[in-house]
Chain A
């Protein structure tokens, strides 16, 4: 994917630099993200927010969609445009279920953010009292609707500085499902209550990837929640998918345009770049395959960007750098199997022995003693088979290595612990207690199936692969 190949004009350092920065910014979620698709959902959310801001309604809505589909992007764009259109009329409070792990924290955080927003030094950044109720009431007072305020505008002016109308606040609750898990859902209850009872003009946006989150709400909370929700779906055709992918990869002229020092060459280069992307999509088989794979496996755009695009683009240069490893992915492992090649032979043998036990004596748990016993019998068989000593060639070694050598208990225990450390074995706790029986009696569950190991061993070939493969097959 070197645009140089087709672009006739010169490629300037600046051009490349800006492009890389721009595109990478988008890919790594740093730069400004652009919403692709979801026009109608966007409209929905935007209109709801607008109502809150303009006519002071209280609203609540859930935005449901899988990770990386663009929930936050949607919300952010909406809020941003609103902030541009109605300057200084709304505040945004962003909460994240990962960070505010209980309602107390959440309240404090709300207070802090509001405090920051409205520069209320007199009340202090953090509330003096850590009492939940007090904090809540003070926030309520802060949010309360002007019509309900005892006393007319004058007092309000005194206490609220120079603002005429009351501010409307947008609460963005990321990882909404975690807030649902909080005990008694106090926060949600209060927020929804405010929103519904029009105590104050607030909008509560819950972002979550769980569809069934509403069921989690308590009755009193559920009853106060306006059951609006917006579902964002993953692209359901590869073209759509590509469109989103492309939106991240291409250059948005209008953004880079106004940077000084940018002149025709860069512009041309960027245009070419965009064309080239389209071209890649049309022609290059490999690239298409890649996109198709991403679509087929996860439909996860962000994942696609992070795993496949970051590395190549960051290696762009004016001169084509010969990168053999351009297409190495940065994807994480899909499952436990990736550990297998890294295991020592002994560990593999024990693992297989343990996995066999699951089938042979149908228990899903086993301990070291059982595994080692099985391993011993297996190894003994092999030893018999290739008992005819192998020759020593160039430091090659007799007997050992080929799964034939029987390692002693002591060594095996070490290997066993290794398996446990790498989570191929999962400890089984019976009624909370696991210790006491000693490490050789402790019960574990094997986290990889015998079949999987067998398949891998088959691929890995070699004498070892053969032996182990047989162990996996013959039961």
Chain B
């Protein structure tokens, strides 16, 4: 037992206590509690540790990833089938046909099925025969039960009762944040997986350090393969570790501590930054030992947020492509070949698919309609009044509210877009559109398009979209709108009550 624990402990470090507790509770030849809760934020080794322990111990278990189950029925079905398979494979228990045929549409049925498979407790006299059955107990792990989409308190409580009804069964709930009375029973032991501390993180990551590999050129992401660990390589490893650990420390202090603490994000940040950071060392202008100088040089890396933002399309690659294209274009222009002279144009143009002109204006209009109180419309959109009078008036209403009462008035802008009447928006549109436009069907179609692009959303869920009384809402942020306004040379600030 001890040996097992130590082996796992070495594999998944910094989780000794949790490991001991869990193994104690799951001790194969002692009765286990009917259900156990493991909790801790994401990437704290809950699932890994449990799996490792269960794999090592001889108790049969069945693992259900609850976040993969869409409905409650899906979950129960999945549990049933998993347990069936586990029992069939591991403890070659012969399941008679009717058990295989049985379905678990709901928790009640699930109890029946499991009872059939694992043997329920004899009626009345509870716990006579237990000592025999405890020998081969079965562990049911419900991983990420809190991510189950249809989990109600009642169904959870029902799941928690499984272990009480079926003596052989022990249910392990793995979740991130337990609410005190989650399973509406008091006597469930919890095991807490706290997030890793700085030192733990660094310790864990430096088990598989990123390499400098100054002499050779190996992809740095690959951990050192043992065969290639020659003596000099060993020396390198020491150096690399020296740099790497400090590097990690710096990342922690500058970025990770305050934005992304869990190990996965931490690692991803490190991976992103490593190559760029150690580039001077690779190029040989810095030694491995004078880290602080290197840091001072590379300091800006730790100021920008580029590395901690998650994007589908990694920004650095896109930027590189665009920059190359631009540089290429400029180069081409210098060599005045006319073909290249056109390139920068459509390069820049390519950057954006932009909306039709009036769609932009419509969007602007709806932004104004969403963020301006309608009582100010007269003030803003009467063609006569000039801009600066406008702004003063608008500003007054914006700021004046704040100073009066000591309970600070929440700025309208912060409350998000307010619903507006379509008619009002159209009126504003006609007010801000530079040259009078005949309102044809095209405007309606554009509104429809904007809606299906979710740039414009219907606020009132009522009935038919054609109804003129319907309320709408703009669904884009200020930055986007500002960009839009610039692109159509419309000075939007002048029309906003609060800028």
Contacts of A442 in B (CB 8 A): 416
B127 interface contact, C-beta 8 A: yes
Q: Are B195 and A342 in contact (CB under 8 A)?
A: yes
B150 interface contact, C-beta 8 A: no
A43 and B37 CA atoms in complex are apart in Å by: 37
A300, closest chain B residue (CB): B186
A303 and B125 CA atoms in complex are apart in Å by: 24
A423 interface contact, C-beta 8 A: yes
Contacts of B299 in A (CB 8 A): 392, 398
**Interface 0/1 of B142-171, CB less than 8 Å to A:** 000000000000110110110010010000
A32 and B31 CA atoms in complex are apart in Å by: 12
> Which of B84-92, B373-381, B407-415 makes up part of the contact surface?
B407-415
Q: Which of A24, A83, A306, A436 contacts B125 (CB 8 A)?
A: A83
Interface of chain B residues 169 through 207 with chain A (CB within 8 A): 176-180, 184-192, 194-195
In the complex, how many angstroms separate the beta carbon of A258 from the nearest chain B beta carbon? 12
A433 interface contact, C-beta 8 A: yes
Known contacts A21-B131, A314-B30, A438-B416: does B158 contact A29 (CB below 8 Å)?
no
A119 interface contact, C-beta 8 A: no
B41 interface contact, C-beta 8 A: yes
Q: Are B158 and A414 in contact (CB under 8 A)?
A: no
**Interface 0/1 of A3-33, CB less than 8 Å to B:** 0000000000000010011001101111111
Q: Are B33 and A361 in contact (CB under 8 A)?
A: no
Q: Are A396 and B415 in contact (CB under 8 A)?
A: no
**Interface 0/1 of A332-347, CB less than 8 Å to B:** 1111001101101110
A58 and B449 CA atoms in complex are apart in Å by: 70
> Which of A91-99, A132-140, A262-270, A448-456 makes up part of the contact surface?
A91-99
Q: Are A100 and B188 in contact (CB under 8 A)?
A: no
A257 interface contact, C-beta 8 A: no
Q: Are A397 and B302 in contact (CB under 8 A)?
A: yes
Known contacts A392-B292, A407-B305: does B106 contact A101 (CB below 8 Å)?
yes
Q: Are A328 and B21 in contact (CB under 8 A)?
A: yes
Q: Are A96 and B161 in contact (CB under 8 A)?
A: yes
Q: Are A25 and B475 in contact (CB under 8 A)?
A: no
Q: Which of B157, B190, B194, B247 contacts A98 (CB 8 A)?
A: B157
Q: Are B189 and A306 in contact (CB under 8 A)?
A: yes
A342 and B176 CA atoms in complex are apart in Å by: 11
Q: Which of B108, B296, B416 contacts A100 (CB 8 A)?
A: B108
Number of interface residues of A (CB under 8 A): 92
Interface of chain B residues 63 through 113 with chain A (CB within 8 A): 106-108, 111-112
A373 interface contact, C-beta 8 A: yes
Contacts of A410 in B (CB 8 A): 305, 309
Contacts of B218 in A (CB 8 A): none
Q: Are A401 and B416 in contact (CB under 8 A)?
A: no
In the complex, how many angstroms separate the beta carbon of A353 from the nearest chain B beta carbon? 12
Q: Are A80 and B125 in contact (CB under 8 A)?
A: yes
Contacts of A361 in B (CB 8 A): 407-410
A94, closest chain B residue (CB): B123
Contacts of B134 in A (CB 8 A): 21, 25, 30
A400 and B256 CA atoms in complex are apart in Å by: 11
In the complex, how many angstroms separate the beta carbon of A290 from the nearest chain B beta carbon? 16
A261 interface contact, C-beta 8 A: no
Known contacts A30-B127, A307-B189: does B246 contact A314 (CB below 8 Å)?
no
> Which of A145-153, A160-168, A363-371 makes up part of the contact surface?
A363-371
**Interface 0/1 of B25-42, CB less than 8 Å to A:** 101011111100101010
Contacts of B180 in A (CB 8 A): 332-335
A472 and B253 CA atoms in complex are apart in Å by: 23
Q: Are B161 and A422 in contact (CB under 8 A)?
A: no
Q: Are B257 and A310 in contact (CB under 8 A)?
A: no
Q: Are A28 and B34 in contact (CB under 8 A)?
A: yes
A356 and B1 CA atoms in complex are apart in Å by: 51
B310 interface contact, C-beta 8 A: yes
A142 interface contact, C-beta 8 A: no
Contacts of B255 in A (CB 8 A): 400
Q: Are B108 and A101 in contact (CB under 8 A)?
A: yes
Q: Are B34 and A29 in contact (CB under 8 A)?
A: yes
A298 interface contact, C-beta 8 A: yes
B130 interface contact, C-beta 8 A: yes
A405, closest chain B residue (CB): B258
In the complex, how many angstroms separate the beta carbon of B23 from the nearest chain A beta carbon? 9
B24 interface contact, C-beta 8 A: yes
Known contacts A112-B112, A396-B253: does B107 contact A411 (CB below 8 Å)?
no
Q: Are A367 and B416 in contact (CB under 8 A)?
A: yes
In the complex, how many angstroms separate the beta carbon of B481 from the nearest chain A beta carbon? 13
Q: Are B127 and A306 in contact (CB under 8 A)?
A: no
In the complex, how many angstroms separate the beta carbon of B145 from the nearest chain A beta carbon? 14
A319 interface contact, C-beta 8 A: no
Contacts of A437 in B (CB 8 A): 416-417, 473
Q: Are B30 and A21 in contact (CB under 8 A)?
A: yes
Q: Are B416 and A440 in contact (CB under 8 A)?
A: yes
B437 interface contact, C-beta 8 A: no
Interface of chain A residues 85 through 127 with chain B (CB within 8 A): 92, 94, 96-101, 105, 108-109, 112, 117
**Interface 0/1 of B111-127, CB less than 8 Å to A:** 11000000000011111
A345 and B252 CA atoms in complex are apart in Å by: 12
A410, closest chain B residue (CB): B309
Contacts of A369 in B (CB 8 A): 413-416
B110, closest chain A residue (CB): A99
In the complex, how many angstroms separate the beta carbon of B442 from the nearest chain A beta carbon? 26
Contacts of A330 in B (CB 8 A): 21, 189-191
In the complex, how many angstroms separate the beta carbon of A182 from the nearest chain B beta carbon? 12
A394 interface contact, C-beta 8 A: yes
Q: Which of A27, A178, A395 contacts B246 (CB 8 A)?
A: A395
A289 and B457 CA atoms in complex are apart in Å by: 61
B36, closest chain A residue (CB): A330
Known contacts A105-B106, A395-B295: does B305 contact A408 (CB below 8 Å)?
yes
B20 interface contact, C-beta 8 A: yes
Contacts of B302 in A (CB 8 A): 397, 400
Q: Are B108 and A422 in contact (CB under 8 A)?
A: no
Q: Are B34 and A401 in contact (CB under 8 A)?
A: no
In the complex, how many angstroms separate the beta carbon of A88 from the nearest chain B beta carbon? 11
Chain B residues close to A by CB (< 8 Å): 17, 20-21, 24-25, 27, 29-34, 37, 39, 41, 106-108, 111-112, 123-128, 130-131, 134, 154-155, 157-158, 160-161, 164, 167, 176-180, 184-192, 194-195, 246-247, 249-250, 253-255, 257-261, 291-292, 295-296, 299, 302-303, 305, 308-310, 407-411, 413-417, 457, 459, 461, 473, 475, 477
21 example contacts (A-B, Cβ-Cβ < 8 A) are as follows A25-B130, A28-B31, A31-B130, A33-B127, A98-B158, A99-B161, A300-B186, A303-B186, A314-B25, A325-B20, A333-B178, A342-B194, A361-B407, A394-B292, A397-B254, A400-B302, A411-B308, A436-B457, A438-B417, A441-B415, A441-B416
Chain A residues close to B by CB (< 8 Å): 17, 20-21, 24-25, 27-33, 67-68, 76, 79-80, 83, 92, 94, 96-101, 105, 108-109, 112, 117, 175, 178, 298, 300, 302-303, 305-307, 310-311, 314-315, 325, 328, 330-335, 338-339, 341-342, 344-346, 360-363, 367, 369-370, 373, 392, 394-398, 400-401, 405, 407-408, 410-411, 414-415, 421-423, 433, 436-438, 440-442
Not counting A30-B130, A342-B195, A360-B408, a sample of 18 additional A-B residue pairs whose C-beta atoms are within 8 angstroms of each other reads A20-B30, A25-B134, A30-B167, A67-B186, A76-B126, A99-B107, A101-B158, A302-B186, A302-B187, A325-B20, A342-B41, A369-B414, A369-B416, A370-B415, A373-B414, A400-B255, A407-B259, A415-B259
